[in-house]
Structure 1
Amino acid sequence: MAPRLAIRAALLALPLLAPLPARAQMDSREGIALQNQILELRRDLDAVRRGGGGSVAPVPVPSRGGGSAAPQELVQQLLARVGELEEQVRQMRGRIDVVENANRRLTEDVEKLRGDMDFRLQALEGGGRQGASRPPQGPAPAQAPAPPPPAAAATPGPRTAERAIADGQAALGRQDYTAAAAAAREVLQGRPGPRAQDANLLLGEALLGERQFQNAALAFNDAYNVNRRSSRAPEALLGLANSFQGFGARREACDTLAQLHSDFPRLSPSLAQRVEYSRRRAQCR
């Protein structure tokens, strides 16, 4: 757990660097400048088509045999220049999309880390309050020994990981997403062992039900990374793709579904039907 907390602490400091918005802003200014050039060239084209070819000065036209180029040649050069500028605008828009997507992912990671830290702090504070509420115990007065309580009245011990996951699945079935998420976190905070993947899948499904799509994506990603070749790894990838769709990352959702199809070509009929439904929802090609 210590390396994971160190990574989360480092991620919390990343927003202070914040290089991404500046780059996106720079690309936006260059894109606006290109759009202005395209508008000027289009105005020049309109002037040439109306017969005013003498007013176009920005594009030099080589002469042939001492005479000026025909208006049709000038129009072709202007169209070629417009095409080049439009291609540059498309490339810049693509770079802006990449930067904005990376910035959005970084923000989601930071929010996830803050949520995890708040949850852990609340758990620690709750344990401290319970310990402080216990009254001091002094020596008991002499009295006859009480009979031992019956075995059925004994206080039950803590839930095992298997019991907590079973209770969480039952809560998920009745759409009690808060109880399902609490059961999953209970397992993950202890010693989950081989049930870590099951607990992360349960947590991801509960967060999907609560429409916390970014946190659900992180939970499904953790479930996949526990064992990428297990029988439940395809469920983790499907949950990750559905989480991506939840917050509008359709490209990432389709890439995840493509990876699912490549790594696990043979799926059970029910899981294959769910994957196909997710592909149609994301409009994957």
Structure 2
Amino acid sequence: MLRTGSRTTLRLGALLLAGAAMAALAPSGAALAQAESREGIYLQNQILQLRQELEMVRRSGGAAVAPQMAPPGRGGAPAAGGEIVAQLLERVGLLEEEVRRQRGRAEQAEYANRTLQQQVEKLQGDMEYRFNALESRGAAPAGTTPPTGRPAGGQQQGALTPPGNQPNTPAAPPGQPSAPPPRTPEVALREGQAALGRRDYAAAEAAAREVLAARNTPRGQDAGILLGDSLMGKRDFQSAALAYDDAFRKSQGSSRAPEAMIGLANAFNGFNAKREACQTLDDLRAKFPRLAGNLSDRANQARQRAGCR
């Protein structure tokens, strides 16, 4: 009777935990297969930990709680079961609160990024104005003094405007080498892939984040996959899962979308989320039934590591 009561309590706790977690993550039943957001993957990791703890209690057959339970008919088993359920509900409430805090932090970070961008644009405008003033002074006739003030309307006066036959880009000060031009996303990705090949994961991650920092870049998905690969090399599996998930969502029908899903499954395998890895690979098979040879081999290897059916 004690063993049966423990199993019934565990099943009830698992059902309550699963229902609360699915309501927090997404309205659809596929939320565990692929998290809908960064907060979803974070909460998914916590739920996986709870699932492992419940599995350990189930395998022990209720031995941990049996000594504290009264004989049948005296109300001991319901009290112990209610305590376990209450603890599980409290854990779910804490996870939901953590999701709300993470969402608030993300909004604050986005606001800070917008403010920083405005400051950088203002600083860039000031620097261009000063360089244009220096060019105008160099082009003015000897013995003349060009004006140095900025008009009230924010426009440069005629003496400060670069001549039509001069380039608008500022010239380097005399005696100093000109600064190298910033590398394009293509160059950054190429150098990042080279760093990944020589296992310089820090340099590969920096190159990927440099491309992702540029807004509206068409190479965002490539940079996301490179970021996931570099984090996998550093064995930061949970951050790699976030990177692969973002890369997949940038273009779910592109030729590199299957690669992002395979990377996500491997990241799930990295922190022992076997069920989520198998569900991701099942989604991959449904969305892309005909994979190329290399991708098909990688998907099969991921299924073997996860023990998928």
TM tier, smaller: 0.5 to 0.7
Name 2:27's counterpart in structure 1: none
Name 2:154's counterpart in structure 1: none
Name 1:251's counterpart in structure 2: 275
Using the alignment, how far apart are the partners of 1:155 and 1:246 within structure 2?
42
Q: Decide whether the 8 Å contact of 1:238 with 1:275 is kept in 2.
A: yes
Using the alignment, how far apart are the partners of 2:242 and 2:275 within structure 1?
17
* From 162, 168, 190, the counterpart of 2:214: 190
Name 1:218's counterpart in structure 2: 242
Using the alignment, how far apart are the partners of 1:175 and 1:192 within structure 2?
29
Q: Decide whether the 8 Å contact of 2:211 with 2:223 is kept in 1.
A: yes
**How far did residue 210 of structure 1 move?**
0.5
Residues 136-192 of structure 1, C-alpha deviations (whole Å, 9 max, x = no match): xxx9xxxxxxxx99xxx7542000000000000000000000000000011111235
Alignment of 1:152-231 (within 5 A): 155-191=179-215, 193-231=217-255
Structure 1's unaligned 5+ residue stretches are 1-10, 15-19, 45-56, 59-84, 132-138, 140-147
**How far did residue 274 of structure 1 move?**
1.0
**How far did residue 35 of structure 1 move?**
6.2
The residue matched to 1:272 in structure 2 has which SS?
Answer: helix
The residue matched to 1:230 in structure 2 has which SS?
Answer: coil
**How far did residue 34 of structure 1 move?**
12
Structure 2's unaligned 5+ residue stretches are 1-36, 41-45, 125-136, 138-170
Q: In structure 1, give the amino acid aligned to 2:206.
A: A
Residues 75-118 of structure 1, C-alpha deviations (whole Å, 9 max, x = no match): xxxxxxxxxx9xx99xx7xx88x959x77x959x78x96xx99x
Name 1:263's counterpart in structure 2: 287
**TM-score of the superposition, structure 2-length normalised?**
0.49
Name 2:261's counterpart in structure 1: 237
Residue 12 to residue 168, structure 1, CA distance change in 2 (3 Å): closer
Name 1:272's counterpart in structure 2: 296
Give the count of matched residue pairs: 210
Q: In structure 2, give the amino acid aligned to 1:220.
A: Y
**How far did residue 40 of structure 1 move?**
7.1
Q: Decide whether the 8 Å contact of 1:172 with 1:180 is kept in 2.
A: yes
Q: Decide whether the 8 Å contact of 1:213 with 1:244 is kept in 2.
A: yes
Using the alignment, how far apart are the partners of 2:227 and 2:197 within structure 1?
13
Name 1:284's counterpart in structure 2: 308
Residue 215 to residue 157, structure 1, CA distance change in 2 (3 Å): same
User: Identity rate of aligned residues, in percent?
Assistant: 43
Using the alignment, how far apart are the partners of 2:235 and 2:189 within structure 1?
21
Q: Decide whether the 8 Å contact of 1:161 with 1:192 is kept in 2.
A: no
Q: Which 4+ stretches in 1 moved above 4 angstroms?
A: 11-14, 31-37
Q: Decide whether the 8 Å contact of 2:237 with 2:267 is kept in 1.
A: yes
Using the alignment, how far apart are the partners of 2:293 and 2:92 within structure 1?
39
**How far did residue 245 of structure 1 move?**
1.0
C-alpha RMSD of matched pairs (Å): 5.4
Using the alignment, how far apart are the partners of 2:208 and 2:307 within structure 1?
32
**How far did residue 193 of structure 1 move?**
1.7
Residue 13 to residue 244, structure 1, CA distance change in 2 (3 Å): closer
Question: Which structure carries more relative contact order (alpha carbon 8 Å, separation 6+)?
Answer: 2
Using the alignment, how far apart are the partners of 1:13 and 1:234 within structure 2?
23
Residues 200-257 of structure 1, C-alpha deviations (whole Å, 9 max, x = no match): 0000000000111111101000100010010000000000011111112111111101
Using the alignment, how far apart are the partners of 1:217 and 1:253 within structure 2?
11
Q: Decide whether the 8 Å contact of 1:164 with 1:186 is kept in 2.
A: yes
Using the alignment, how far apart are the partners of 1:216 and 1:35 within structure 2?
38
Residue 34 to residue 196, structure 1, CA distance change in 2 (3 Å): same
More helix by share: 1
